[in-house]
Amino acid sequence: MPTKPPRWVVVDDTDTDIQYIGPWVQADASIYDVQGNWGPTYKQSLHGTTGVASFSYAFNGTRAAIYGAYADNSTRVVIPVWQCFMDGISNGTQVPYPYDFENNWLFCQWDSIPDGPHVMSVNVTSKGQTFWFDELRYSLTAGASINGGAILFDNHDLDIYFDSQWGALGTSTMTTTMGATMTLDFFGTNLTWYARIPVELPHGPTTATYTVDNHSAVTFTLPGLPNANNGDPSQYNQKAFQTTPLPLGNHILKVVHQGNSSLTPLVLEYLIIQNQTNSTPEIVSSGNTSKGPLVGAIVGGTTGAVLALVFSTVICLVVRHRRKRRVNANMVINDNDIVDPFFAAPPSQLDTRIYGTSTTEALPASQHKQTPLASFSNNTGITTSTSSSGFGSYLPSGSRNQVASPAIVASGSDGEPHPPLATTRRIVHHQDSGIRLPDTEVEEVVDVPPNYTPA
């Protein structure tokens, strides 16, 4: 597959990036557009000097060229001379050809310079005859884009599609067939077609049409050469048509020839496409992007990151706080859930319906470490036996912290103390600390805690 050659960037003499030194004047070049046969000036403007002056332009690329115009020398005024420089190196002194007046004349050109930044410049010396500068061109560095400039597509550009009805005319491309079409996908805001009118072929005027993005076709005229028989030469760099302003973006151009082989052919020399407007942010290359969008992206990204960090911190604090509350709640001791290993209920909590009096007695602390108990008699003559069930008596809530004395004697209804009565006791050795249901038998229960071993 053929490799696309680099395209030219076209820069008008009014471009503010051109540095002028010396006595330069800017002229309305419309009066010169009809002179000569090399076409009108680019954008109808020229910069001229009649003294010692110079200009320079910095660019990135691999080729460069400078174009201008000059007046006839019939007055025998000393013609201007100039030197072209690339990065300070001169390519020699140049003088114009002895024609009356020509636009679009090549003053100097550089091919195959190293890709990268360069400065082209021209030093002019004149003693009365005006040196006219019109435009400069340079090839784009691969992958670069421009701001406010124009791109030149020559007729050999690989993005231009000609159908089979087109052929070569010297270095140009032409057709003499009715219905022959040319199409191009392009990006920009307008397009200008530059044609050649050959004296060697029929000179009668004819028409063609162009369409952009499937809008209505626009007809343009190919004037031919009315005075060819009187010696008019071929005309070059002739503006065939220019599209109306378009939105910046991708567009499709379609051109259809309406003439025939007996009329002026439709010829393409090159197209100039305005790539962007001057008001758009400058984009010189991938390394020099617009600073405005970049600053906005940085500010937006930083703000988003800060908000995300604050949000994450708040979430972490909330989760941590809830976790801490959960742990603290689990660590709170509920007195209602504690089962005392050894406790005797107070007298008022026991059933006295039969005896009218009752006693409770706590075992000595030395008894806590004994092995499972057998039946024995205490020093009061009370017979005590072990329990096979392993469950103790139920202790009502609110009585856990009331520890009974070794011997408590209840009072009768007359206020006089009654002597202690013999009471059958049941000693229960707990195997666990569960909740105890009250016994149906009327007896005193002494709870003994589980056995504990030394730590």
Question: What is the rounded distance in angstroms from the CA atom of residue 182 to the CA atom of residue 165?
Answer: 10
- Average pLDDT of span 57-73: 87
Question: What is the rounded distance in angstroms from the CA atom of residue 356 to the CA atom of residue 453?
Answer: 40
pLDDT at residue number 81? 87
More confident call, 74 vs 264? 264
Find, among 418, 166, 131, 128, the residue nearest to 268 by Cα. Answer: 166
Residue 32: pLDDT band (50, 70, 90) is confident
Question: What is the rounded distance in angstroms from the CA atom of residue 48 to the CA atom of residue 90?
Answer: 21
Find, among 407, 402, 397, the residue nearest to 361 by Cα. Answer: 407
pLDDT at residue number 361? 40
Of 14-28, 185-199, 398-412, which range is least confident? Answer: 398-412
Of 6-10, 132-136, 236-240, which range is least confident? Answer: 6-10
pLDDT at residue number 385? 41
- Average pLDDT of span 77-84: 81
More confident call, 439 vs 176? 176
Structure tokens at 428: 């229960």
Residue 95: pLDDT band (50, 70, 90) is low
Per-residue pLDDT for 296 more than 90?
A: no
Per-residue pLDDT for 307 more than 70?
A: no
pLDDT at residue number 93? 74
pLDDT in tens, 159-180: 999 999 999 999 999 999 999 9
Ranges 59-68, 126-135, 335-344, 350-359, most confident: 59-68
Residue 201: pLDDT band (50, 70, 90) is very high
Per-residue pLDDT for 153 more than 90?
A: yes
- Average pLDDT of span 142-164: 87
pLDDT at residue number 297? 42
pLDDT at residue number 438? 53
Per-residue pLDDT for 452 more than 70?
A: no
Q: Do residues 96 and 105 lie in contact, with contact meaning Cβ atoms separated by under 8 Å?
A: yes
Q: Starting at the earlier edge strand, list the strands of the sheet with 89-94.
A: 19-21, 52-61, 116-125, 81-86, 89-94
Ranges 84-88, 328-332, 390-394, 427-431, most confident: 84-88
Q: Do residues 135 and 194 lie in contact, with contact meaning Cβ atoms separated by under 8 Å?
A: no
Beta strands 8-12; 102-110: pairing state: unpaired
pLDDT at residue number 303? 59
More confident call, 377 vs 172? 172
- Average pLDDT of span 407-431: 49
Is 64 exposed, middle or buried, given 0-12, 13-18 or 19+ CB atoms closer than 10 A? buried
pLDDT in tens, 237-285: 999 999 999 999 999 999 999 999 999 999 999 999 998 543 333 333 3
H or E stretch at 240: strand 235-242
Residue 363: pLDDT band (50, 70, 90) is very low
Residue 128: pLDDT band (50, 70, 90) is confident
Mean pLDDT, rounded, of the chain: 73
pLDDT at residue number 437? 55
More confident call, 167 vs 439? 167
Q: What is the DSSP code string of 350-372?
A: S--TTTS-----PPPGGGGGPPS
pLDDT at residue number 142? 72
- Average pLDDT of span 357-363: 40
Residue 388: pLDDT band (50, 70, 90) is very low
Amino acid letter at 212?
V
pLDDT at residue number 101? 79
pLDDT at residue number 326? 56
Structure tokens at 255: 């051109």
Of 60-69, 130-139, 356-365, which range is least confident? Answer: 356-365
pLDDT at residue number 119? 98
Structure tokens at 407: 């011997």
For residue 335, give the 3-state DSSP assignment: helix
pLDDT at residue number 97? 63
Count CB atoms within 10 A of the CB of residue 84: 21
- Average pLDDT of span 62-66: 95
Question: What is the rounded distance in angstroms from the CA atom of residue 186 to the CA atom of residue 250?
Answer: 6
More confident call, 220 vs 320? 220
Question: What is the rounded distance in angstroms from the CA atom of residue 48 to the CA atom of residue 93?
Answer: 18
> For the chain, what percent of residues have pLDDT higher than 90?
45
